Amino acid sequence: KLINNVLRLYLDIFIITYLDNILIYLENEKDYILYIKIVLKKLDKYSLRLKLKKCKFYKNKVNFLGYIIEANGV
More confident call, 6 vs 63? 6
| Average pLDDT for the chain | 87
Whole-angstrom distance, CA of residue 25 vs CA of residue 47: 23
More confident call, 50 vs 27? 50
Provide the pLDDT confidence category of residue 57 given band limits of 50, 70 and 90. Answer: confident
Question: Taking the CB of residue 22, how many other CB atoms lie within 10 A of it?
Answer: 20
Q: What does the pLDDT read at residue 73?
A: 66
pLDDT digit string, tens, across residues 33-42: 899 999 999 9
**By C-alpha distance, which of 12, 24, 19, 17 is closest to 59?**
24
Average pLDDT over residues 57-72: 81
